[in-house]
Structure 1
Amino acid sequence: MTSGSDLLRIENLGISFSMLGGRMHVVKGANLRILPGKVTALVGESGSGKSVISQSVMGILPNTAAVTGKILFTDPVDGRTTDILQLERDGPDIRALRGSRMAKIFQEPMTSLSPLHTVGNQISEVLAIHTKATKSERRSQTEEMLGLVGFSNPKRTYDMYPFELSGGMRQRAMIAMALICRPALLIADEPTTALDVTIQAQILELLRNLQHKLNMAMLLITHDLGVVANMADEVVVIYHGEIMEAGPVDAIFRNPQHPYLKGLMAAIPHFDMKPGERLKALREVPVNSGALWGKRTHEETAPEVLVSVRNLTKSYGIRKAGLFGKQDKTRIRAVDGVSFDIRRGECLGLVGESGSGKTTVSKILMRAVTPDGGSVTFDDGKGKIDVLAAQGAKLLELRTKIQMVFQDPVSSLSPRMTVQNILSEPLEIHGRGDRASRLETVRALMQAIGLDQRYLNRYPHSFSGGQRQRIGIARALALGPRLLICDEPVSALDVSVQAQILNLLKDLQKELGLTYLFISHNLAVVDYMADRIAVMCAGRIVEIAPREIILRDPVHPYTKALLAAVPFPDLDRPLDFITLKASGASDERAWGPKFSGGDSDDPLSPADLGNGHLVLARRNVDTRELRSW
């Protein structure tokens, strides 16, 4: 095939960076093509060279990079082929292409948009650079594009600042900025990684529709094979800077050839997994928790329910009149009458979109946030503890029994402490043992999470994301807790590393008899980990049931919408955009009269459907009617 029939053709691309002691080769002899009007997905783990390739196409590589090979861009308007690597860095020719004929959407919309300029200002700036349009023409074209990417009131959005928009809306603004000049090629670098599953589905549908409408080619960079199955025409798999496999999406998914691609597919949790089936991580972590704690006694006499939560409420006031103005009377209910039990030894999954109140609930359990009302009781067989009223020695003891694994493995570990200091700090705070016994415990913790003891004197920056998350898990285990609260512990990780961490958590739960509250917006991950699942929306639990019931036979419209939004790495199960279309998933008005609140004489309350399946509905509705809804 000649380069003239391809929109973009990359030939024998090599990219290296100068470092102390020589050069580091991050892309080695890469060859790939992007056809006009088609979506090519570039798939691989973090550090495989995906983003560096996209930067070389856009001509925005740092000065320390050395590039060899060819990047041929054939503009469909005039048919001219340009070798991007031959253009002067930041010269007029590459600037004329960048933003006009080629555009890029970045992974994190908040850091990509200027906080000092309005959304409309930033989008119309692209038109000012690349076109001769007048100010009024630029405004009308920008408003038209904002409408095209899904803003209901483009005129108002034009004058808003990025911080006034949600994550999904910021990403839409970013897409509008990239598409305002109607480019022939759009590079989308992990465009949905930071978004909820329902918002992700909306952005994917938006990109797909715009791509068809504008007849635009797209290079989609992602590590999510579910996204690839729903979006791509061609797939290119990259590992350590080398292309392992490439071809049409049908051939890649139905008949993968390379062991790396097969391994990547086996590492993804999916809803069809059999009971007891394990994820196959690309690199398994040996777990040895035998030396960690002594044999736990009084397990037989401990009660079935470890934590009992009843009618938790928490609301926040909104300040509208500036920094020193009076606080507005408006209050937002972050947690609204939440009740659930966590049984000893189980994993309770808590799912929902961002802003649904999941993390606020976990912070209340940790005593990091004080609720307005409700009760939390903890009972591990040594007597009941009122979590919200505990003080002094009682609170100190409680802190050893409930620990947390945080979402971001980078910011949750101090960059100024070695691994040994990080793991021994909880033991020092609670006065456990002397220096020698603490070091022994730290070594046992390293063994338990599958990290070499030689790493004890290293700092967090010298570890990968998955290794840092394992250190975070080890720190949470240091005091021998009963309950581990895992707040999105794998959302920042690649699928292959995610499989390692999930398997590690499962092994530790089995060997140490741990109880988990597992918070996530990834339903496939929760399906793999949890015994029971509670679904949260707008501060309330709308449905709670054993895992196999809630994911196979959901009743609440919000749960159904969440499940419909999960992209499957399966060509025969495309995303159900019609189910998602029914307004926003969290819009109560779209749930129908049986599930949405309204008249005060018929409030919402949990309806019991049997087998531990509760759903939030109108009090006087027949449960048989709910199933048929």
Structure 2
Amino acid sequence: MNVNATRRPRDLLRIENLHVSFSLMGARITAVRGANLRVLPGKVTALVGESGSGKSVISQTAMGLQTTTARVSGKIFFDDPLSGEGPIDILPLPHDGRKIRSIRGGRMGMIFQEPMTSFSPLHTIGDQISETLRIHTGLTGAEMRERCEDMLSRVGFNNPKKVYDMYSFELSGGMRQRAMIAMALVCGPALLIADEPTTALDVTIQAQILKLLKDLQLQMDMAVLLVTHDLGVVANIADEVVVIYQGEIMEAGPVETIFRKPTHPYLKGLMAAIPHFGMQRGDRLKPLREIEVNQDSLLSKKYQARTGPETILSVRNLSKTFAIRKDNWQMPGRPKEKNRPAVDDVSFDIKRGECLGLVGESGCGKTTVSKILMRAIEPDAGSVLFDDGKGPIDVLKAKGAELQSLRTRMQMVFQDPLSSLSPRMTIGDILREPLDIHDHGDTAKRKMAIKALIRAIGLDEASLKRYPHSFSGGQRQRIGIARALALGPSLIICDEPVSALDVSVQAQILNLLKDLQKDLGLTYLFISHNLAVVDYMADRVAVMWAGRIVEIAPREIIMTAPVHPYTRALLDAVAFPDLDRPLNFETAGQTSAVSRANWARVFRDEDGGDGMAPADLGGGHFVLARRNADMRELAP
């Protein structure tokens, strides 16, 4: 257990020559190969790499959470300053032994990647946070509740007493992540392992979580092992960086050295794959591995010579309000809470052949708009007119053959490709299904069509016989794109298509979408919370807040000269992978509800006034402001 005590460095966590392999169908797959890294007391060490590189395997092994089928060798030393025992090798300890359990959850906390699946839906937030205290402390029930409420308050909940008694499904994604942080920190650990703590969170919530982690780390003098693929997060929070590829450490060092003087080709390639602001229209991302696509196999009369009116989709005054669930069982006579509309008087046009980006924080109504356009949700009011050259269709009133025709001309690519692909169907059946439903061609033509689709996204024909679980996340997303292309649509709605993908796979998918748009004449509504991605993809950008579009303009104007304070706040919250453009955590960490109080009066509608309406600033630039507002008041 002693490791060269005379020359042992003061590392809180030290991993030496770690090998981890798993048994798979009679063979062994090596996930980690000879990894060496350290975490210093009170510092943040970022473990960076693509999906499948072994990051999460290392973090789970450090906590003693590896599966029983894992074969592990090497050493993992944890030097707890409170134990007085010196460094302890975690690997030889029994998984469920008293020693490892006293460390895990007590002196080493962990934030898991997906907070929804990490919380039990059957127990309250308070019960699940208190469980950690019951295991590791001798506090009474009242003392545990007081400690939990104090921690919930420290992670940003305004009413911790109420949150203590709530269930996980009653909280938003950002709130669940805060509750997960509270559970990991309630025992005051020396080391926090954060596994992708900001993945799939919008930029404002991400900035809030990063500010929270940074503040708590300083307050508690805590070390953090940050597992991520987001180099923007790394640049803003890490002290040291470890780069891993296919289970091997490629490069490690201080954050200044890693970003300013990268040496390994993999790290340089990772940085080149990230979309960044200021890219020119013809610029392309450089993924680590290019995919060979074959759009020529899709080119046909239905894709070529797109003609018709300039505007393919016209949305006017769209509104949708959802009833608050607890109103259904509230006691008679008690006042009901005022419902807030999810979509509130939304209007926009999408021009033929363009990509309109729709951005905003979680809960602003972006996905609700997309579901209304696809007829998955009925709006309370508004109109949607679609015309791709074959005659106008009232989307919200279409029935029978007209609706069937509309389904072939508007398609959707979903955020989570795994849950949108049936696990019981082969890829061939998934791609054939739209053709079968709409009776396109005979059996032979459908077979040819699905082969063309699979080639178009860079997969071989043997993939048609496989099931979704046997593909990577990026490959599944490409299959989702192929399914959307099967019927030759004019408009594709992309709902967060790359939010959960690592940067290299993200670059592949974005390049593929741009190539398809150019070669097939497609039109996109691209919904995302990643402004750098939208900057790369979109021709025009609409910014949504609290159910309303607050600003819409050409991409160059939104990204360089925004007028609405919410748009400027969104841009300020972007975590750049650039040490010379750090986040201002004082402003970026504010919620929109707080920052709204500082908006100029012309952008607020809290006292009646003249109401709100889009003000035309010229050049296709509109901003939501008070009616009859003086244009001089709208200057940035």
TM-score interval for Structure 1 and Structure 2 normalised by the shorter chain: over 0.9
Distance in 2 of aligned mates of 1:194 and 1:295: 38
Whether contact under 8 Å (1:306, 1:379) holds in the other structure is yes
Q: Is the 8 A contact 1:14 1:68 kept in 2?
A: yes
Verify: 1:256 aligned to 2:262, yes or no: yes
For the pair 1:289 / 2:302, whether they are aligned, the reply is no
- Offset, 1:588: 4.2
The residue matched to 1:168 in structure 2 has which SS?
Answer: helix
The answer as to 2:349 corresponding to 1:310 is no
What residue number does 1:493 align with? Answer: 501
Q: Which residue of 2 aligns with 1:83?
A: 89
The one of 400, 405, 408 aligned to 1:392: 400
Correspondence 1:202 to 2:208: yes
Amino acid at match of 2:214: R
Alpha-carbon spacing, 1:431–1:462, altered in 2? closer, same or farther (3 Å) = same
Deviations 1:401-441 (A, max 9, x none): 11111111101111111111111111111111111111111
Aligned partner of 2:67 in structure 1 is: 62
- Matches of 1:75 and 1:329, distance apart in 2: 49
CA distance in 1, matches of 2:274, 2:70: 33
Q: Identify the match of residue 507 of structure 1 among 515, 529, 536.
A: 515
Deviations 1:107-159 (A, max 9, x none): 11122122232222222222222122233322222222222111222233222
- CA deviation map 1:587-625 (0-9, x unaligned): 643423110113445010001111111000011211121
CA apart distance, 1:98: 1.1
Please list, as runs of the form range in 1=range in 2, the aligned pairs for 1:19-168 lying within 5 A after superposition: 19-77=24-82, 78=84, 80-168=86-174
Following superposition, the deviation at residue 323 of structure 1 comes to 6.0
* 2:17 paired residue among 12, 15, 26: 12
Q: Tell me by how many angstroms 1:564 deviates.
A: 1.1
* Paired AA for residue 23 in structure 1: R
Distance 1:297 1:74 in 2: 63
Structure 1 CA distance, aligned partners of 2:320 and 2:405? 25
In structure 1, the residue corresponding to 2:296 is in which secondary structure? coil
The one-letter code of the counterpart of 1:376 is V
Which residue does the alignment assign to 1:440? Answer: 448
Distance in 1 of aligned mates of 2:427 and 2:123: 42
2:483 is matched with which residue: 475, 480, 490?
A: 475
* Pairing of 1:514-533 with structure 2 (within 5 A): 514-533=522-541
Maintained 8 Å contact 1:310/1:375: yes
Contact kept? 1:562, 1:585, Cα under 8 Å: no
Secondary structure of 1:594 counterpart: helix
Which amino acid is the alignment partner of residue 217 of structure 2? Q
1:416-427 counterparts in 2 under 5 A?
416-427=424-435
Cα distance in structure 2, aligned partners of 1:627 and 1:506? 34
- Name the residue aligned to 1:543: 551
Q: Tell me how far apart the structure 1 counterparts of residues 105 and 306 of structure 2 sit (CA, whole Å).
A: 66
Query: CA separation in 2, counterparts of 1:115 and 1:50?
Result: 28
Aligned partner letter, 2:216? L
User: Once the two structures are aligned, what percentage of the paired residues are identical?
Assistant: 69
Question: Are 1:230 and 2:236 an aligned pair?
Answer: yes
Query: What letter is aligned with 1:174?
Result: M
Matched residue SS, 1:290 = helix
Write the letter of the residue equivalent to 1:179.
L
The answer on whether the counterparts of 2:47 and 2:226 sit within 8 Å (CA) in structure 1 is: yes
1:461 to 2:469 alignment = yes
SS at 1:376 equivalent: strand
Post-superposition offset of 1:460: 1.2
RMSD between aligned alpha carbons? 1.9
Equivalent AA in structure 2 for residue 36 of structure 1:
P
Matched, 1:430 2:438: yes
Residue identity opposite 1:529 in structure 2? M
**Does the 8 Å contact 1:107/1:194 carry over to 2?**
no
Match of 2:355 among 332, 347, 350: 347
Distance, in Å, in 2 between the alignment partners of 1:37 and 1:421 is 53
Moved more, 113-122 or 273-282: 113-122
Structure 2 vs 1, CA of residues 573 and 329 (structure 1 numbering), >3 Å: closer, same or farther?
closer
Partner of 1:174: 180
User: What is the TM-score with the length of structure 2 in the denominator?
Assistant: 0.95
Using a 3 Å threshold, how does the CA distance of structure 1 residues 212 and 396 change in structure 2: closer, same or farther?
Answer: same
Does residue 213 in structure 1 map to residue 195 in structure 2?
no
Q: Deviations over 1:446-484 (max 9, x none)?
A: 121111112111111111111111111111111111001
Distance 1:163 1:179 in 2: 21
**Aligned counterparts of 1:323 and 1:161: Cα–Cα separation in 2:** 17
Q: Is the 8 A contact 1:379 1:385 kept in 2?
A: yes
Give, in whole Å, the separation in 1 of the partners of 2:113 and 2:157.
Answer: 20
> What's the CA shift for 1:79?
5.6
Letter matched to residue 289 of structure 1:
Q
Q: What secondary structure, in the 3-state scheme, does the structure 1 residue paired with 2:587 have?
A: helix
Residue type at the aligned position of 2:150: E
Aligned length: 628
Q: CA deviation at 1:233?
A: 0.4
The whole-number CA distance in structure 2 between the counterparts of 1:301 and 1:268 is 35
- Which shifted more, 116-125 or 485-494? 116-125
TM-aligned CA distance change 1:325 to 1:434, over 3 Å: farther
After TM superposition, the structure 1 = structure 2 runs for residues 237-248 of structure 1, keeping only pairs within 5 Å, are 237-248=243-254
Map of 1:609 onto structure 2:
617
How far does residue 4 in structure 1 lie from its aligned partner after superposition? 4.0
For residues 214 and 375 of structure 2, what CA distance do their matches in structure 1 show?
44
**Cα offset for 1:287?**
2.1
What is the distance in 2 between the residues matched to 1:69 and 1:371? 59
Unmatched runs of 5 consecutive residues or more in structure 2: none
* Aligned residue type for 1:25: T
Amino acid at match of 1:447: R
Partners of 2:627 and 2:561 in 1: how far apart? 21
Q: Normalising to structure 1: TM-score of the pair?
A: 0.96
Mapping 1:259-338, distance limit 5 Å = 259-295=265-301, 299=305, 301-321=307-327, 330-338=338-346
C-alpha deviation, 1:391, in angstroms: 1.3
Aligned equivalent of 2:412, options 404, 416, 437: 404
Q: How has the CA–CA distance of structure 1 residues 484 and 297 changed in structure 2, closer, same or farther, with 3 Å as cutoff?
A: closer
How far does residue 273 in structure 1 lie from its aligned partner after superposition? 1.6
How far is 1:578 from its partner? 2.6
Cα 1:231–1:582, aligned 2, differ >3 Å: closer, same or farther?
closer
